[in-house]
RNA sequence: GGGCGCGUAGCUCAGUGGGAGAGCACCCGCCUUACAAGCGGGAGGUCGCUGGUUCGAAACCAGCCGCGCUCACCA
């Protein structure tokens, strides 16, 4: 028999266990097995990233799901990998270059990309090693990277198909431009923040032909090609069709009527800058206005004149000053707080910019993505999130997918010398010859991420993996990337797999969304708050299991998860509690050999814990299915700690440590079984300590490959549960009395127990005596205190002295008040005709029962009070 | 501005139509040989406010107050 140290030491266990699991190949899924598949693809972390608390939560959930499915007999695949993270990675390497005084342009495209690859090999993917420390049972033999050969082929394949289907197009549009990253961004890569600006009203033109417009971006007036008003606005009706001069430019522009203008806002007249504002662009389209680009890709004014060469934020006040000088500033509102778009990568203010870019026509794809949820092929958990999903897919703009970066999948389109454009599919040779060149841009990182559920399984080849493991079973991720990733996987998955039956084309059956990890006060973790916790730090100090348990324990579906070091310490304590429970059990011969004894050979205590176990198995299973990990943890925590440790082990101690092997044997077997099952149930959440303990307890190979428990209704035993409940009440009441009377726990007290037979618990008298520390009455026994515990059981104690009557009276008085309140509440209900008429019968019966109990309680307390000597 | 969500014990949160709960923190007593990372006992809440529905509301509805998240082309 293994001897275990007296405290659980994660560092002695984790690395060794993980190596064994790997060695045994438990994580490697078999595409050719007969088992039903269960697939999770990991939300691909950035290659630049290291493991943070968000991953710890996300991975704990996925590992728990995967481990349980594996135990349930599924061919469970958890597929890991990483994202090349276009902008983020390029930024990292560019910063390195900058430290050497270089820019990527000094290296040129080819050498720069080589350099990024080298960075990736040397310093990227730190997270992979950290996932091992968390205990993740990912199948590393299937690990993928979005820039690897297979995935690049998948990208090219789907691009070509979408292009040929007219779902990818190139067009000049207003896009979000980051002047620092020098690339286009999609709508969701822009974060709106409330910034302080200034709303200035500027007079265009002179005299009665003048018109006042309002703007927060005065510098864009250099590119104005019209002023727009609402067609029904009487103030300006007479001006429609006339021309007005744009100050500082000498340019005369038309005044046009457009429904888009809100007459209520500002002056009701809008300056129109088609090249630098999305709305204005559309107005320009409708009215055939020219687009004047007045700013370059760095945000520097290019319009010739006094402002040329100024940065946009220098030009703005300069232009306002010039206008003021001319007396054209009619009004200024400052500060004027309004939402301004910022680059989600570098926080630079985004500049709307007219630019030639590639787009995905999202209409039909988004429709399909919405329908898959609408018709139930994909379920979103928790359901409240579904509306957000619909809001987005039903109102999606076309997706700008080209990025002016070097790190990423290059757009597979070649341009010819005479304006030809050829999209090159996989296996096709790009056109050669004078003047042909490939598009310079790369694809949005999220483009390849959108293929993740099938590109990782070998698509576009028809591989065994793809056949076995697609669609994936559940996608686990934070609600923050519902739009970035989930909706796009839906669009591309349904599109790429459209040859399959509709229910099997979806990328996943269920989307299980969790929240964000926050600090103990619910605040976002951020470097500026200084409240960031490194999960590796917790793993070092409290162990991976404690870290995981803390995550799972806070994981209510869709809601944020506050964590703190104290809670992690609590989780560590729980692991240690389990450790010591098993240690104790092994010390006293608990085992899992042979079948369980028949119920008739078991004591009521054994039948009680087995009955409880069945309930816990059933409930834990249901909560797992509902992604209610916090409830799974809560159930198991209390079953393990309260039922098993505090009661069952204590109740079993006398027989286990006694000298009657025949009596001890069934208990050893039952205890072994209960712990065996408990460890299995806990294994998905806390894999290391459970495997260490389970193998020590059972001698089995690993709990990882043990069967998942199923409830056995034969062991349900309400009678045993009632019996133990009474026993517990007697023990608890005696303990209360002892505490109130200041009797030390080591102090033996003689007592007579009356009414145990009537209460059906006379078998348990020795147990009650042992747990309540009551001796047999001896010579000269004098009952100085009498406790009425239930309406049947009373305990007469010889406290070897007068009891503290005041304390006893105080306790009884308090109990009496509670009972009185309870009784009064019940009586009120039972005298209510409406209640009697309308409430369900079982509710009424329950209230009657409660009243009877309360009244018996009252009678008992009154008797006890009357029996108290005068103080 | 639109949408969503939250307000329950000191803190963080469960509970969503019939007896107010958990963890941590707190108070009292214990080194009772599995565990002091522990054991036993205890205190603490007009469930944000107001009204409504109901025999019955922490839960359902309306309004209000406070907070958070999210989307957004009012220049």
Beta strands in A303-420 (DSSP E): 329-343, 351-360, 379-381, 399-400, 402-403, 413-415
> What is residue A500's DSSP assignment?
S
> Largest Cα–Cα distance of chain A, in whole Å?
119
* pLDDT level of residue A871 (50, 70, 90 thresholds): low
What is the spatial order of strands in the sheet that A329-343 belongs to? A211-215, A190-204, A329-343
- Judged on CB neighbours under 10 Å (0-12, 13-18, 19+), A19 is exposed
> Among the listed ranges A166-175, A330-339, A497-506, which one has the minimum average pLDDT value?
A330-339
Q: What is the mean pLDDT of chain A?
A: 92
In angstroms, rounded to a whole number, what is the distance separating the alpha carbons of residues A263 and A516?
42
Mean pLDDT of A76-100: 92
In angstroms, rounded to a whole number, what is the distance separating the alpha carbons of residues A542 and A478?
25
In angstroms, rounded to a whole number, what is the distance separating the alpha carbons of residues A686 and A104?
46
In angstroms, rounded to a whole number, what is the distance separating the alpha carbons of residues A784 and A799?
6
Interatomic separation, CA of residue A672 and C1' of nucleotide B66, rounded (Å): 53
Q: What is the pLDDT of residues A58-85, one digit of tens each?
A: 999 999 999 999 999 999 999 999 999 9
Backbone angles phi and psi of A214, in degrees to 5: -115, 145
Backbone angles phi and psi of A457, in degrees to 5: -95, 10
- Judged on CB neighbours under 10 Å (0-12, 13-18, 19+), A850 is middle
Interatomic separation, CA of residue A392 and C1' of nucleotide B3, rounded (Å): 11
Peptide bond into A341 cis (omega under 30): no
- Per the structure, the residue whose CA is closest to nucleotide B73 at C1' is A279
Interatomic separation, CA of residue A600 and C1' of nucleotide B28, rounded (Å): 43
Q: What is the pLDDT of residues A664-698, one digit of tens each?
A: 999 999 999 999 999 999 999 999 999 999 999 99
Whether the CB-CB separation of A30 and A76 falls below 8 Å is answered with no
* pLDDT level of residue A86 (50, 70, 90 thresholds): confident
For residue A404, the tally of other CB atoms under 10 A from its CB is 16
> Among the listed ranges A460-469, A539-548, A765-774, which one has the minimum average pLDDT value?
A765-774
Q: Which nucleotide is nearest to A193 (CA to C1')?
A: B72
Give the pLDDT score at A553: 94
What the block records as the tokens of A65 is: 């799901």
Give the pLDDT score at A1: 44
Interatomic separation, CA of residue A629 and C1' of nucleotide B19, rounded (Å): 27
Give the pLDDT score at A264: 83
Give the pLDDT score at A96: 92
ipTM: 0.96
How many helices and strands (H and E) does chain A possess?
29, 29
- Per the structure, the residue whose CA is closest to nucleotide B12 at C1' is A520
Q: Which nucleotide is nearest to A518 (CA to C1')?
A: B12
Interatomic separation, CA of residue A485 and C1' of nucleotide B19, rounded (Å): 47
> Among the listed ranges A162-171, A222-231, A435-444, A793-802, which one has the minimum average pLDDT value?
A793-802
Q: Which positions on strand B lie below 7 Å from a protein C-beta? A: 2-5, 11-14, 18-19, 22-25, 28-32, 34-43, 54-56, 69-75
In angstroms, rounded to a whole number, what is the distance separating the alpha carbons of residues A471 and A393?
21
Q: Which nucleotide is nearest to A268 (CA to C1')?
A: B75
DSSP A546-606: HHHHHHHHH--TTS-EE--HHHHHHHHHHHHHHHHHHHHHHHTT----SPPPPGGGS-HHH
In angstroms, rounded to a whole number, what is the distance separating the alpha carbons of residues A330 and A202?
6
Interatomic separation, CA of residue A653 and C1' of nucleotide B24, rounded (Å): 30
In angstroms, rounded to a whole number, what is the distance separating the alpha carbons of residues A69 and A709?
12
Percentage of chain A lying above the pLDDT 90 cut: 73
What pTM, to 2 d.p., does this model score? 0.94
């Amino acid at each position: 028999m293994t001897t275990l140290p007296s405290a659980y030491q994660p560092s002695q266990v984790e690395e060794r266990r993980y190596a064994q699991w790997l060695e045994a190949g438990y994580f490697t899924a078999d595409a050719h097995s007969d088992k039903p598949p269960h697939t999770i693809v990991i939300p691909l972390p950035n290659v630049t990233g290291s493991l943070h608390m968000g991953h710890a939560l996300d991975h704990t959930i996925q590992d728990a799901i995967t481990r349980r499915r594996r135990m349930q007999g599924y061919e469970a695949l958890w597929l890991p990998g990483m994202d090349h993270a276009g902008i983020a990675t390029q930024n990292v390497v560019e910063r390195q270059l900058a430290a050497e005084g270089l820019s990527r342009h000094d290296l040129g495209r080819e050498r720069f990309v080589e350099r990024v690859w080298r960075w990736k090999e040397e310093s990227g993917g730190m997270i992979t090693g950290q996932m091992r420390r968390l205990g993740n049972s990912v199948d590393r033999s299937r690990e993928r990277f979005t820039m690897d050969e297979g995935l690049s082929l998948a990208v090219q394949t789907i691009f070509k198909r979408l292009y040929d289907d007219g779902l990818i197009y190139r067009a000049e549009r207003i896009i979000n431009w980051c002047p620092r990253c020098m690339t286009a961004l999609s709508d969701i890569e822009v974060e709106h923040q409330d910034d302080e600006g200034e709303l200035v009203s500027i007079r265009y033109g002179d005299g009665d032909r003048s018109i006042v417009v309002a703007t927060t971006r005065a510098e864009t007036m250099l590119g104005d090609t019209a002023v727009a008003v609402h067609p029904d606005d009487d103030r300006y009706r007479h001006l429609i069709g006339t021309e007005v001069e744009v100050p500082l430019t000498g340019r005369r522009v038309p005044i046009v009527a457009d429904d888009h203008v809100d007459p209520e806002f500002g002056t009701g007249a809008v300056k129109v800058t088609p090249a630098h504002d999305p709305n204005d662009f559309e107005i320009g389209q409708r009215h055939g206005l020219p687009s004047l680009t007045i700013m370059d890709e760095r945000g520097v004014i290019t319009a010739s004149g006094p402002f040329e060469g100024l940065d946009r934020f220098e030009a703005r006040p300069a232009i306002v000053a010039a206008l003021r000088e001319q007396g054209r500033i009619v009004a200024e509102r400052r500060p004027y707080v309004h939402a301004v778009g910022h680059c989600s990568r570098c926080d630079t203010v985004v500049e709307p910019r007219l630019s030639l870019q590639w787009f995905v026509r999202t209409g039909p794809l988004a429709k399909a993505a919405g329908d898959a949820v609408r018709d139930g092929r994909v379920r979103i958990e928790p359901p409240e999130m579904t509306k957000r999903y619909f809001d987005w897919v039903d109102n999606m703009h076309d997706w700008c997918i080209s990025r002016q970066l070097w790190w990423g999948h290059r757009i597979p389109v070649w341009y010819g010398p005479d304006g030809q454009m050829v999209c090159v599919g996989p296996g096709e040779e790009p056109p050669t010859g004078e003047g042909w060149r490939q598009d310079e841009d790369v694809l949005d990182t999220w483009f390849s991420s959108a293929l993740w559920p099938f590109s990782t399984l070998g698509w576009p080849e028809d591989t065994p993996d793809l056949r076995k493991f697609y669609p994936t079973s559940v996608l686990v991720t934070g609600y923050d990337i519902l739009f970035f990733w989930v909706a796009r996987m839906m669009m591309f998955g349904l599109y790429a797999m459209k040859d399959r039956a509709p229910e099997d084309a979806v990328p996943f059956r269920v989307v299980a969304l969790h929240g964000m990890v926050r600090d103990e006060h619910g605040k976002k973790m951020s470097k500026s708050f200084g409240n960031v916790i490194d999960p590796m730090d917790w793993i070092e100090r409290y162990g991976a299991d404690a870290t995981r348990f803390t995550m799972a324990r806070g994981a209510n579906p869709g809601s944020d998860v506050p964590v703190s070091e104290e809670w992690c310490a609590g989780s560590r304590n729980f692991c240690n509690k389990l450790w010591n429970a098993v240690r104790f059990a092994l010390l006293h011969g608990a085992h899992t050999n042979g079948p369980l004894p028949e119920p008739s050979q078991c004591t009521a205590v054994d039948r009680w814990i087995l009955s409880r176990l069945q309930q816990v198995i059933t409930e834990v299973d249901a909560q797992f299915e509902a992604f209610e990990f916090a409830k799974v943890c809560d159930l198991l925590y209390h079953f393990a700690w309260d039922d098993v440790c505090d009661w069952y082990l204590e109740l079993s101690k006398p027989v286990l440590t006694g000298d009657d092997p025949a009596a001890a044997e069934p208990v050893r077997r039952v205890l072994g079984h209960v712990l065996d099952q408990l460890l299995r149930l806990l294994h998905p959440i806390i894999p290391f300590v459970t495997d260490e303990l389970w193998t020590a307890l059972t001698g089995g190979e690993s709990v990882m490959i043990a069967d998942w428990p199923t409830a056995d209704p034969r062991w349900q035993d309400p009678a045993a549960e009632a019996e133990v409940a009474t026993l517990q009440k007697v023990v608890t009441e005696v303990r209360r009395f002892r505490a109130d009377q200041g009797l030390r726990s080591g102090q033996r007290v003689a007592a007579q127990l009356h009414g145990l037979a009537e209460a059906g618990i006379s078998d348990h008298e020795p147990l009650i005596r042992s747990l309540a520390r009551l001796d047999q009455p001896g010579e000269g026994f004098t009952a100085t205190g009498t406790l009425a515990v239930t309406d049947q059981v009373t305990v007469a104690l010889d406290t070897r002295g007068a009891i503290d009557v005041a304390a006893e009276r105080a306790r009884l008085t308090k109990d009496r008040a509670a009972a009185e309140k309870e009784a009064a509440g019940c009586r009120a209900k039972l005298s209510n005709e409406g209640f009697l008429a309308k409430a369900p019968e079982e509710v009424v019966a329950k209230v009657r029962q409660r009243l009877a109990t309360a009244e018996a309680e009252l009678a008992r307390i009154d008797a006890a009070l009357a029996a108290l000597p005068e103080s």
